Structure 1
């Protein structure tokens, strides 16, 4: 097992200097050139820190808790947890994930994680929403994922919902669509309100009038299909921006019943890049991909910066579909989602 003393001998520095560098406490204490050399030697020799010894010495366990409300059972949880796990591993932390189904379960899980000496928490929601932070997390390092606290004080990260609506609608405008419909969500959600605003702004910037007859908000199944069918017959849209990929299916179905070809007669843009719809719909659906990996990664990076009191400016970031916002972004940090071009737009 490689020791700090061996690294110190190779680098020509003291053991205390090596300790500062490898424990992430070198900023302002050790010259950057020396710190980089110590890290390079440690990597070359295959140095691995002892988490137990480190926790006894620093009072930090390097354990992060990921509290999710139904997130672990949704189709997108894998990306969010993978992003969080990728960042945790990069920064030398262990991630413990728990899924809750109510206030009692949530309180129990938080208490259990605290008994492990968790250094900080990620608090995630199934869909972007305003949330009330549990009082048991009020005095601990915390970052919200896909949510914003009601007071706007807790660091958080979420998709830029307005930009989703704007970019999707603008893509349809560039395809030559003049009667662009919005198939939205009937549930009260941040995503619904902001995507609708983005849709309206894109129409306005393109010199097109907003017509509320071209907007239909639906839930699912039969009533949703009927509402979209009525929209086809009454308004004859040539472009459709859909709240999500699932709602785009109703557009495909209605088009097929009328002998219309998606990608030729009408254009459709969804949101999610849901794997099932991406592999099922033909022609393939142009869609805005939600940044689940990016949200998970950014949240852990932000949490570590709070725990360790560091800027993270020197951290190398992974290649991502959507660009990551800066760690010091205003609350909430918003991620500009990427539009994935496929074949459903003319």
Structure 2
């Protein structure tokens, strides 16, 4: 492996000059043509900085800790972790991911990350909700992923839940639906609150009356199927906005029992673009794709800006399916999600 000493020997300069150049401290101290020669020689020799030596100089390890509560065991893990990993790699950081159950083993996992000397933490939830940040990491730079903290004490990134509900309901209205039901969640978390508000606002903007009888808040299994079945029987909706793709399954099941054709007699929009449901439901489900990759990428960039006290405007963000907000957006920063049109929404004649 090439060393600074070898680079100095081949370029005819001192080791201290090579150090200044390779640590980007050469401006005004080393002549530009010499600095260029040093960098070219380092590249030719395949020089790579020693991370341990660098950490001793800077008091930073260039390691990030990613704490996930059930994220790593869900279908959405790939997107969030991939986005975070891509950003970390681009910025010269390594990321260590741990999965916790949110209670018993969280302190142990955090202690392990602290022993590695991480520079900061990403704290991710399985779905957008209010998070209690462990006291043991509050003295570190922290960014929340798909979660928010009480009083927005920490930077955070989440889907724009209001726009999810608004865009999904608007799509059904554009398809000619006038009796639109909302199949919601029985957990009063930010995602449920925001999506319901968006649903109501879209109805109001279109001159359609909100009818509480067309909304149900369900969990899963038999009681959920029964609640959706009663909605079919009592209210006869022609459009359904579902809190997620899993709840859309109950609509498909009830429609089949009633002899109704999805995409013709009734229209359905879900949320998640969940791989399992997206590939098995027929007709294919129109859905709002959650920005998992974008949330992971944005969170790492924001965390590094905190660690390095680096201006947010200095980061170059990649082009992604959903546009990421500015890194200095106030908490909670929100991402406008992408609606993916498929065959479950009827075409107007």
In the superposition, relative to structure 1, how do residues 22 and 302 fare at CA in structure 2: closer, same or farther (>3 Å)?
farther
Closer, same or farther: CA 22–292 of 1 in aligned 2, 3 Å: farther
Contact 2:312/2:328 (8 A) holds in 1: no
In structure 2, distance between residues paired with 1:153 and 1:217: 30
Provide the rounded CA distance (Å) in 2 between the counterparts of 1:298 and 1:41: 34
Q: Is the 8 A contact 2:301 2:315 kept in 1?
A: no
Which stretch of structure 1 is more off in the superposition, 308-317 or 263-272? 308-317
Q: Tell me: CA distance 1:13–1:285, structure 2 relative to 1, closer, same or farther (3 Å).
A: farther
Secondary structure of 1:103's counterpart equals coil
What's 1:258 paired with?
258
Q: CA deviation at 1:2?
A: 4.8
Distance in structure 2 (CA, Å) of the matches to 1:303 and 1:28: 30
Cα-Cα RMSD? 3.0
CA distance in 1, matches of 2:15, 2:287: 53
1:92–1:264 CA distance, 2 compared to 1 (3 A): same
Aligned position for 1:57: 57
When the two structures are superposed, what TM-score results if normalisation uses the length of structure 2? 0.89
- Structure 2 match to 1:127: 127
Q: Structure 1 residue 313: deviation in Å? A: 2.7
* Superimposed CA distance per residue, residues 288-331 of structure 1 (whole angstroms, 9 cap, x where no aligned partner): 01111111111111110111111243433233221111110111
Greater CA radius of gyration, 1 or 2? 2
2-side partners of 1:275 and 1:12: how far apart?
A: 58
After superposition, the Cα gap between the structure-2 partners of 1:316 and 1:40, relative to the gap in structure 1 and judged at 3 Å, is farther
Residues 201-246 of structure 1, C-alpha deviations (whole Å, 9 max, x = no match): 1111111111111111111111111111111111111111000000
Q: What is the aligned length? A: 346
* 2:321 alignment counterpart: 321
Report 1:103-114 matches (<5 A): 103-114=103-114
Structure 1 residue runs of 5 or longer lacking an equivalent are: none
Distance change in 2, residues 1:39/1:228 (3 Å): farther
Aligned partner of 1:336 in structure 2 is 336
Listed as ranges, the matches of 1:241-280 within 5 Å are 241-280=241-280
Q: How does 1:156-305 map to 2 (within 5 A)?
A: 156-305=156-305
CA offset at residue 105 of structure 1?
1.3
Given that residues 183 and 215 in structure 2 are in contact (C-alpha distance below 8 angstroms), is that contact kept between their aligned partners in structure 1? yes
Q: Deviations over 1:76-112 (max 9, x none)?
A: 1121111111111111111101111243411111111
